[in-house]
Structure 1
Amino acid sequence: MKRKSLLFILIGILVSSLFLAGCGNDEASSDGKVKLTFSIWGGETDKAVYEERLKLAKEKYPDIDVELIYIPSEYAQKVQTMIAGKKAPDIMQLAEDVHAYSSKNQLAPLNEYIEESGLNLKENYGEVYENYSRDGNVYALPDRGGSLIVYYNKDLFDAAGLEYPNENWTWNDLLNAAKELTVVENGEVKQWGFVGGEWWPQWMSFMYQNGGGVLDEDGNVIINSPESVEAMQFVVDTYYKYKVAPTREDLANLGDIGGDTLFAQGKLAMNYTGFWAMSTSNSVAELNWDIAPMWKNKEPGTVPFGSGLGVSSQSKHKEEAYKIIEFLTSEEGQMPIVDNKQDAPANVKVLGSDEFLTKDWAAHEINVDTFAKSTEAMIKVPYIPEWNEMQKVFEDNFADLWLNEDADVKAILDKTQEDLEALIGD
């Protein structure tokens, strides 16, 4: 009996040791190199470009091995499952919901590593790094960038004898041009001047351009401020009062298409969206298009896009993980983004580089410096921990704005103000 008891005890110890060895990240591989994991989303091109960039990081840090974890769908849910199982990736690609992670202490603050490395955040990324900061802590370094910009059909502008859009345009310039560029024949719109503003980066940019917004600098809800109401009324008026933008019903009648497709078809004079629309615009050889920074009203304002790279609070190799993300967001680490025409890089030095400015982004010459110019107008987006819930409030409350020309903008924003205050405990 004693021998059996001793055998069971030894087996129990062995099983427990094996289980514990399987939990958490390995300290290092057998060859002494640090092993990191890095989670990303996107398409096959995104995966390939990250792999290329990691090869460059390997050249700089040969003792750090990085395993890419490609999650093309349900990214947030799968990463949260990994975090709950104590198997969080050492490095995580993050976007608008960055503070859904940081507020749960799932991300490591990077301040001490930034200070030790001497990284100048503003010099490298402009003001956009603040979107990845909360309560004085930086939780991610900007990686892929760009912002809301204007796409315009040069032939349509030339035919109407109008000047092209530029960063000095005001709302009046935008509206006057949109009126001239909207063509109606026999009661049917054949050409639209403008695309409207149903998507949150669009209407939100208008609010900030008018001195309003969603939250003020202290985190107070201001979405029903006079400035915000005036901005949203202007957006809604482009549909119903001035009739220069297609409504949701109009787009459904055209085959349930969006602004990018309508622009590529040559039936839309001005579209405003992100870097990705260059692909759609390039798909039509005869389309003579260009890009320009967003217009302004009381002040400039455009929503930045992209993603950042953060370090998991579970990582046992935070210092090494920081070295990798610092490199990936450096000029050298960002260049494959340009070489492969993947996206607009977040590093402002790369945005202003000859490599970026002279790249053949289109079959004809376009104003690529638009992206660098736009960095000065980027707003601090309210990426609060309740971001996803806040988006649901917008979706529910604003539905009537896009479907009903008699909707009361002030009343809807008053209701949104109440809902947001209840959500974030204002």
Structure 2
Amino acid sequence: MLRTAVTAAVVVGCMASLAACSNDTGATPGDSGGDAASISFAYWGSNEENATIRSMVAAFEKAHPDIDVKPNWIQSDYEQKLQTSIAGGDAPTVAAISNTSLPSFFTAFKPVDVDAGAYYSPAVAKAGNVDGTDYAVPFVAKSKVMAVDKTAFTKAGLPAPSGTDPLGTREFVAAAKKMSSGSGSSRVYGSAPLWYDGWLLADGGSYYNADGTKCTMGDAAGIRAAKTVVDSVKPDGFAPTAIAVQGQDTFEWLKQGKVATLPDFGPWNIAKFAALDPARFALVPMPGRGEPMEVDGLGIAKSASAAQTKSAETFTRFMSTDPAAQNLLATEKSALGVPVVESSLPAFESAAPKANLRAFVDAVKRAVTTPYVKDKVRIESTFSTALNSRTAIGTGKEDPATVLPELQDTCQSMLDATK
């Protein structure tokens, strides 16, 4: 049934773009030219995600039979192994890379052409841009939504959240407190643990200002977000501590009625959620402004030859914008994430038609674009390590109102040193 839905969506997408679909994958056969070269493609993921990517590669090879793609599935320590291969002169021709990691890798990639008009979300179109230059072609969006147990809201005398309009952050906190009850091992929580970085953005804060020149996580919004996270895990709070859920699957807690809401719910969980009773469970927008969105892109190795580069450009363009690839991103068994082109959204939603997958799409459209910051990974790692060691967001006990301004000053010093 899913294959029928996907095929139908491909046909619609082809008609909409006036492209001639002349094979059963829905791909538009391309002219790769006489100098096509074999390429290698590195990526990460679970067994199911690997199967999805291989099906997309197969669709490409059917549309471009003169280009052979050698998949390189790296099952663990992906970025470390990718960095090692680059340093050793054995970089894959094409590598999947998250926008959050791209600032650490872009010097190993060639600039690429990104047609912003091909994508329905400005945040997606900008995801592969570093300091004004595009180094990765958008491939898949990984927006976040919230899974909820509607019966918990009913029992607390609250209306179930809307599938389209997000709760306000204060409204969410009040509801989570009201849905929390009991004590000890029988306690029911209104929410699974909150992620500080996500809640910071949802509640109106940010790590940096709009142009990435100032650190802002220690301002009033940052302190407010930190206090909410800290208060949520107090003995009378509305979320379990990180220690309480360590090594456990909070999705199972939702199924068992131990938590009423599961924020930070990613699209890779779609298959598990689709198996739940839609009369009881629903997907709704994240509260407030929503959480940061990851966008995985495809970078082309700077060391690639001219012939390899030409093949790689054909491959990345196909994976990024062709319905024959984008329609395969989500199935009833696995989901890499949300398509980045409009024509493939019907196929995405058909993977779990009762699960309101439109919430993921809406989150992609609403996503806030974060600025490029040089040395971003080291700066944010230093901040997060200190925040977790000093406050109850992690293992510490200090007041966020004291800690955050200090950490913001440290962040600013590190940021200024990069100029």
* TM-score (norm. length: structure 2): 0.80
Counterpart AA for 2:41: F
Does the 8 Å contact 2:327/2:339 carry over to 1?
no
Counterpart AA for 1:233: K
Helix, strand or coil at the partner of 1:145: strand
Q: Report what 2:22 is aligned to.
A: none
Does the 8 Å contact 1:98/1:383 carry over to 2?
no
Q: Which protein shows a greater Rg?
A: 1
Q: Report what 1:419 is aligned to.
A: 410
Q: Does 1:207 align with 2:200?
A: yes
Q: Does 1:162 align with 2:158?
A: yes
Q: Report what 2:350 is aligned to.
A: 358
Counterpart AA for 1:237: D
Helix, strand or coil at the partner of 2:110: coil
Does the 8 Å contact 2:42/2:96 carry over to 1?
yes
Q: Does 1:239 align with 2:226?
A: no
Does the 8 Å contact 1:304/1:378 carry over to 2?
yes
- 1:216 aligns with one of 194, 201, 209: 209
Tell me how far apart the structure 2 counterparts of residues 413 and 179 of structure 1 sit (CA, whole Å). Answer: 25
Q: Please list, as runs of the form range in 1=range in 2, the aligned pairs for 1:263-274 lying within 5 A after superposition.
A: 263-273=254-264, 274=266
Counterpart AA for 1:170: G
Q: How many residues are paired up?
A: 373
Q: Report what 1:97 is aligned to.
A: 101
* TM-score (norm. length: structure 1): 0.79
Q: Does 1:307 align with 2:305?
A: no
Tell me how far apart the structure 2 counterparts of residues 218 and 152 of structure 1 sit (CA, whole Å). Answer: 35
- Greater shift, 203-212 or 281-290, is seen at 281-290
Helix, strand or coil at the partner of 1:109: coil
- 1:192 aligns with one of 189, 202, 205: 189
Q: Please list, as runs of the form range in 1=range in 2, the aligned pairs for 1:5-404 lying within 5 A after superposition.
A: 33-95=36-98, 96-102=100-106, 105-110=107-112, 113-114=113-114, 119-121=115-117, 123-166=119-162, 167-184=165-182, 190-197=187-194, 202-219=195-212, 220-240=214-234, 243-251=237-245, 256-273=247-264, 274-281=266-273, 288-296=280-288, 300-316=289-305, 317-330=308-321, 331-339=323-331, 341-350=334-343, 352-353=345-346, 355-360=347-352, 365-381=354-370, 384-389=373-378, 390-399=380-389, 400-403=391-394
Tell me how far apart the structure 2 counterparts of residues 281 and 62 of structure 1 sit (CA, whole Å). Answer: 37
Tell me how far apart the structure 2 counterparts of residues 133 and 277 of structure 1 sit (CA, whole Å). Answer: 28
Tell me how far apart the structure 2 counterparts of residues 327 and 222 of structure 1 sit (CA, whole Å). Answer: 39
- Given the superposition, is the C-alpha separation of residues 84 and 406 from structure 1 closer, same or farther in structure 2, using an over 3 Å criterion? closer
Tell me how far apart the structure 2 counterparts of residues 405 and 53 of structure 1 sit (CA, whole Å). Answer: 46
* Per-residue deviation, 1:284: 6.1
* Per-residue deviation, 1:85: 2.4
Does the 8 Å contact 1:334/1:347 carry over to 2?
yes
Helix, strand or coil at the partner of 1:425: helix
What residue ranges of structure 2 are gaps of 5+ in the alignment?
1-33
Helix, strand or coil at the partner of 1:183: coil
